[in-house]
C-alpha cells in the first residue's frame, strides 16, 4: 500500500502523478501497486482520497489529481509541524480500518504501507518534525517513510508560503539519507521540480523494496583456497530496468512484443512470496566480451546487485557486498562476461526440466546486467560474412557527409525520448470504462464526479465531511 503526504501542489507534481497513475492502471500481470491514498497539507490536513484499489480505478484517481491541481498554492501558509506526523498516523489508522472492514480477498498481500511526503520545505526540518511527532507511535505496519524535498530556485524560508502533499500506498533517483526512527527509517531525498524527476520517484513504487528475502543466489566455482567442496554463493537482488511493452494493452507502435520475465518473475509485495526459495544461477564459463554476439541475446534485461535483505546477518551482508564488488571489478579488468545456467527449483524434475542460460555483464556501477541467451534449439541459420574490402570512395564520401548532418551525443539519454504513451493509455482506459462514450483524442478527459475532500480536525484524526 502506498500513501502521499505534504507536498507543493505544483504543475510538475500533478503531471507526474497523473502520468504515473495512467501507466500503473494499464499494466497487466501481478498488481504492483494495490492501494493508494492521498492527503494535502496546508493549514489543515485534507484527505483527498481514502484508500482505494488502484487497478480499474483510473477515473476516480484522476478526479483526485484534478482536486489536487485546484489546491491553492498562492497565499498558502506553512503547514503546522504537527500535521506531518499526524498525516502519517492517520494513514496508519486508515489502513487498519480498511483491512478490518474490507474482505480479505480484496487486500491479500497488503500487510504494511509506505508513506511518501512531498514538500518544498527543507527536508531536514521535516525529518526532525517527524522524529519528534512519531517517537511514541506504533509504526509496526509502516514499511517505508520517504520525505521528498522538491528543490526550487529559491530556498523556502520560515515566512514563505508553501504547501505540502502526502501519499500513502501499499506495495528515486538522487541521494538517499537514512535517519533511524523507532521501527522505521526516514529516507530523505531531494529531486528537481520537473515531471521527469518526480515520475522517477513514483516509479520506485513499481519495484519490490520489501527486502524480506533475497531474489537470487549466484553460484561461482569453489575458490582455490579453503574448502573445495562448496561453491562461492553471492546473494543478490534483481531489479527491472524497464517495463515490457507487452504488459501494456493496445500499444502496437512501440515495437515488437518482447519476452516476459517468467523465468525470473520478481516477487510481488505479498508475504507469501517471501517463502519462495531464491532462484539459483550456476556460473559455468567465462567469456571474452568481444566474443559475445548481441544477436543471440534476447528478452528483458535485469539488473543484479548485492542483496539488501533485512534478514541477513550484518557481517554476512557486508562480506557478500565485498565479494560482489570484487566480482564486478575482476570481470571489468579482464573484459569478461559470465555464462550461467538457471537451476530448476527443488522438486521440479531436473531430469526433464529445460535449462535456460544467461549472460552476466559487469558495469562501472558495481552491478551486473542479466540477459537471456538463446540455446541451439532456438537458433536459426544465419550467415553474415565479414567483408574485408574497403568501401569505394564515392559511396563512402556520400555516407560520411550524410552522417555528418546528425547531432552527436556522447551519452545516450532515453529520458529525452517521448512516445505519447501516457495520453494513449488514458484514452484506452477511458474507452474500457465508458465503451459507449465517444470522445476526441485531443480533448481532456473530465473526471466522473468531483471528489469532496474529507477534512481532519483535532489530534484524533476524526473526519468531517
Map 338-373 to HEC letters.
EEEEEECCCCCCCCCCCCEEEEEEECCCCCEEEEEE
| 455 sits in which H/E element | strand 454-457
- Provide the H-helix boundaries in 171-265: 195-203
What is the mean pLDDT of the segment spanning 389-394? 84
Q: What's the predicted TM-score (pTM) here?
A: 0.65
Could you tell me the CA-to-CA distances from 335 to 88, 236, 327 in Å, in that order?
Answer: 49, 22, 12
Q: Is the pLDDT of residue 361 over 80?
A: yes
SS3 state of residue 41: strand
Residue whose grid cell is 477515473: 59
Euclidean distance between CA atoms 431 and 436, whole angstroms? 8
Q: Is the pLDDT of residue 367 over 90?
A: yes
List the domain boundaries for the chain.
8-153+182-212, 245-266+278-378
Is the separation of the CB atoms in 178 and 147 below 8 Å? no
Nearest to 261 by CA among 238, 282, 281, 229: 238
Is the separation of the CB atoms in 262 and 300 below 8 Å? no
Confidence of residue 36 (pLDDT cuts 50, 70, 90): very high
Which pLDDT score, from 0 to 100, does residue 273 have?
47
140-179 pLDDT, tens digit each: 888 889 999 998 754 444 344 445 666 666 653 334 344 4
Nearest to 137 by CA among 91, 97, 175, 100: 91
Euclidean distance between CA atoms 50 and 234, whole angstroms? 42
What letter would DSSP give residue 105? G
Q: 245-266+278-378 has which fold?
A: Ku70; Chain: A; Domain 2 (2.40.290)
Which pLDDT score, from 0 to 100, does residue 233 have?
86
Residue whose grid cell is 514499511: 143
Euclidean distance between CA atoms 362 and 371, whole angstroms? 12
Name which residue leads in pLDDT, 315 or 4: 315
Architecture of domain 8-153+182-212: 3-Layer(aba) Sandwich (3.40)
* The three cell numbers locating residue 338: 559470465
Euclidean distance between CA atoms 55 and 45, whole angstroms? 26
Lowest mean pLDDT among 162-166, 175-179, 215-219, 298-302: 175-179
Confidence of residue 101 (pLDDT cuts 50, 70, 90): confident
- Provide the H-helix boundaries in 121-188: 123-134
- Select the highest-mean-pLDDT range: 257-271, 334-348, 451-465: 334-348
- Select the highest-mean-pLDDT range: 23-27, 76-80, 100-104: 23-27
- Provide the H-helix boundaries in 71-161: 81-101, 123-134
Amino acid at each position: 500500500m502506498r500513501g502521499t503526504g505534504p507536498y507543493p501542489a505544483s504543475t510538475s507534481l500533478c503531471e507526474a502523478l497523473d502520468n504515473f497513475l495512467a501507466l500503473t492502471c494499464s499494466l497487466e500481470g501481478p498488481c504492483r501497486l494495490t492501494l493508494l491514498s492521498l492527503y494535502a497539507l496546508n493549514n489543515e490536513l485534507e484527505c483527498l482520497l481514502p484508500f482505494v484499489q488502484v487497478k480499474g480505478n483510473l477515473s476516480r484517481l484522476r478526479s483526485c489529481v484534478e482536486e489536487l491541481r485546484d489546491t491553492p498554492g498562492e497565499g498558502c501558509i506553512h503547514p503546522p509541524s504537527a500535521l506531518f506526523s499526524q498525516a502519517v498516523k492517520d494513514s496508519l489508522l486508515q489502513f487498519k480500518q480498511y483491512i478490518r472492514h474490507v474482505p480479505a480477498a480484496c487486500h491479500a498481500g497488503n500487510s504494511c504501507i509506505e508513506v511518501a511526503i512531498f514538500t518544498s520545505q527543507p527536508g531536514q526540518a521535516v525529518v526532525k518534525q517527524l522524529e519528534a511527532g512519531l517517537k511514541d507511535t506504533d509504526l509496526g505496519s509502516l514499511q517505508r517513510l520517504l520525505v521528498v524535498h522538491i528543490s526550487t530556485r529559491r530556498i523556502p524560508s520560515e515566512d514563505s508560503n508553501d504547501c505540502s502533499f502526502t501519499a500513502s500506498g501499499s506495495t528515486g533517483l538522487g541521494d538517499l539519507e537514512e535517519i533511524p526512527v523507532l521501527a522505521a527509517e526516514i529516507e530523505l531525498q531531494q529531486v528537481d521540480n520537473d515531471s521527469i524527476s518526480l515520475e522517477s520517484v513514483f516509479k520506485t513504487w513499481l519495484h519490490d523494496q520489501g527486502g524480506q528475502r533475497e531474489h537470487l543466489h549466484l553460484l561461482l566455482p569453489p575458490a582455490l583456497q579453503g574448502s573445495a567442496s562448496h561453491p562461492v554463493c553471492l546473494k543478490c537482488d534483481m531489479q527491472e530496468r524497464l517495463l515490457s511493452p507487452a504488459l501494456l494493452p493496445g500499444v502496437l507502435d512501440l515495437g515488437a512484443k518482447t519476452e516476459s520475465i517468467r523465468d525470473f518473475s520478481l516477487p510481488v509485495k505479498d508475504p507469501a512470496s517471501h517463502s519462495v526459495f531464491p532462484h539459483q544461477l550456476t556460473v559455468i564459463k567465462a567469456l571474452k566480451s568481444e566474443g559475445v554476439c548481441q544477436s543471440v541475446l534476447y528478452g528483458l534485461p535485469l539488473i543484479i546487485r548485492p542483496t539488501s535483505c533485512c534478514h541477513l546477518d550484518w557481517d554476512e551482508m557486508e562480506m557478500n557486498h565485498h565479494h560482489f564488488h570484487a566480482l564486478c571489478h575482476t570481470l571489468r579488468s579482464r573484459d569478461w562476461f559470465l555464462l550461467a545456467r538457471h537451476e530448476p527449483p527443488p522438486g521440479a524434475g531436473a531430469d526433464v526440466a529445460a535449462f535456460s542460460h544467461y549472460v552476466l555483464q559487469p558495469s562501472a556501477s558495481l552491478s551486473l546486467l542479466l540477459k537471456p541467451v538463446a540455446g541451439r534449439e532456438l537458433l536459426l541459420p544465419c550467415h553474415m560474412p565479414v567483408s574485408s574490402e574497403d568501401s569505394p570512395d564515392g559511396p563512402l564520401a556520400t555516407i560520411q557527409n550524410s552522417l555528418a548532418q546528425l547531432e552527436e551525443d556522447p551519452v545516450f539519454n532515453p529520458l529525452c525520448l517521448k512516445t505519447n504513451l501516457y495520453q494513449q493509455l488514458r484514452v484506452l482506459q477511458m474507452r474500457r470504462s465508458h465503451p459507449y462514450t465517444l470522445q476526441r483524442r485531443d480533448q481532456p478527459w473530465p473526471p466522473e464526479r468531483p471528489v469532496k475532500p474529507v477534512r481532519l480536525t483535532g489530534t484524533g484524526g476524526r473526519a468531517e465531511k
